[in-house]
Structure 1
Amino acid sequence: MIRLSAALTTLVLAAAVLSPPTSAYAASSTTCTGTTHVTYSPGLTLTPQDVTGTETDTISSCTSTDTTITGITTSPTYSFDAPGASCNAVQVSPGGGGLVIHWNNGQTSTLTGLVGVLTATGGIVQNTATGTVTAGEFNGATAVITWIYALVNPLQCLMPGGLTTQDGTIVLQVTGA
C-alpha cells in the first residue's frame, strides 16, 4: 500500500510539474510559413568573399491565438551584407538585427536583437534567428525566424559568376507576451 501510494504521489507530482498552468494558455502564439528568395552579388563561390544579398520573403499562411492574424500583408524585402560568404556559409542577422512584421489585421510587430545561428546537416542549410518583439502586437514575446535551404551543389559554385540565387522556406514563430 505504501509503494502504491508513493507511486501515485510521484505520478501526481510529475503531472503537476509537466502540465502548464492554465494561465500559459493565455500566452500568445503565432506560427507563419512561406517562401524565401535570395539573390547574391557577387555570386557565391567556394572562396570566401564579401557578398551583398537581397531577400524577399512571401509569408501568406499563419496560425495564431489572435484569430485576426492569418498572414503577413507585405513581403519583407531587405538587403544585407555577408562578409566572408561562400557556398553553404552565409551568416547574417536579418535587417541589421531588426525587422518590422506587418500583420494582415493592420498591426505590426517590431523584432529586435535578432541573432542567427547557421547549421548544415542532412542536405539542409538552416539559419535560425532569435530575438524579441519590442513594439506592437506581441510586445515582449520571443520571435524565432528560420530560413531553410537545400544544401548547395558545389558544382553551382564553380560556374562562372557563382551561385546568384537561392530559394527556400521560411518559418516565423512568435511565442509569449
Structure 2
Amino acid sequence: MTRLTTALTALVLAIAILPAPAASAAVDSLTCTGTSHLAYSPGLTFTPQTVTLTETDTYTSCVSSDPTLTSGHISGSFTVAGLSCAYLTAGPDRYRVNWNNGQTSTIAFTETEATVVAGVQQYVGIGTVTSGEFNGGTAVFTWAYLPPSPLNCLAPGGLTSQNGTVIANITGL
C-alpha cells in the first residue's frame, strides 16, 4: 500500500508542477457566401472602352466569431479604363463592407487576380482589413461569374450585366 500511496503522491505532485497549457488567443474570423451583380455602363463589347462598373454583393450566409454578424453587403461604382468582353479585370483595390450589425469593414486588396478556371471567370482579392470590424485581419474574397456570351457582347448595347457568386473570408489574430 505504501508503494501505491507513494506513486499516487508523486503523480499528483508531477501534475501540480507541470506548466498549464497556454490559453489560446481569440481568433476573429468570418466566412460569408452570397451573390454578386455587376452592371456595366456603357455595355461591354469587344472594343476596349472606359466603363462605369456598379457592383452589388449581398452576403446572405455568414459564420463569424462575432455572433451579431450574420449578413452584409457591398454596393459601389467605379470607373475602369480599357474594359471589354475580351479583357475583364478585377475590381477596385478598396471595398467597404456594411454588416447587418451596423459595423463596417474597409478592405484594401494588395493582390488581385482574374482567371478563367474550368469555364468560370474567377477573381480573387487578397488584402487587409484597414478599419472597422476585423481591423488588421487578412481578407480573401473570391468572385465567380460565367464568362460573357459573345452574342451578348455583339448585341446592340453590349453586355450590360453579369451575375455570380462571392465567398468572403476574413481571419485575424
TM-score (norm 1): 0.77
Q: Which protein has the larger Cα radius of gyration, Structure 1 or Structure 2?
A: 2
Give yes or no for the alignment of 1:112 onto 2:112: no
Deviations 1:48-82 (A, max 9, x none): 2221111111212101122222111xx32111122
CA distance in 2, matches of 1:47, 1:38: 19
- Cα deviation for residue 98 of structure 1 reads 1.9
In structure 2, the residue matched to 1:145 is 141
In structure 1, the residue matched to 2:82 is 84
> Higher helix fraction: Structure 1 or Structure 2?
1
Percentage of matched positions with identical amino acids: 51
Question: How many residue pairs were aligned?
Answer: 152
Q: What's the C-alpha RMSD, in Å, of the aligned pairs? A: 2.0
Deviations 1:98-154 (A, max 9, x none): 222222223222212454210112110011111111222211101122211011221
Structure 1: any 5+ residue segments left out of the alignment?
Answer: 1-20
TM-score (norm 2): 0.79
Give yes or no for the alignment of 1:38 onto 2:38: yes
Q: Is the Cα–Cα contact under 8 Å of residues 93 and 115 in structure 1 kept in the other structure?
A: no
- Cα deviation for residue 23 of structure 1 reads 3.3
Structure 2: any 5+ residue segments left out of the alignment?
Answer: 1-21
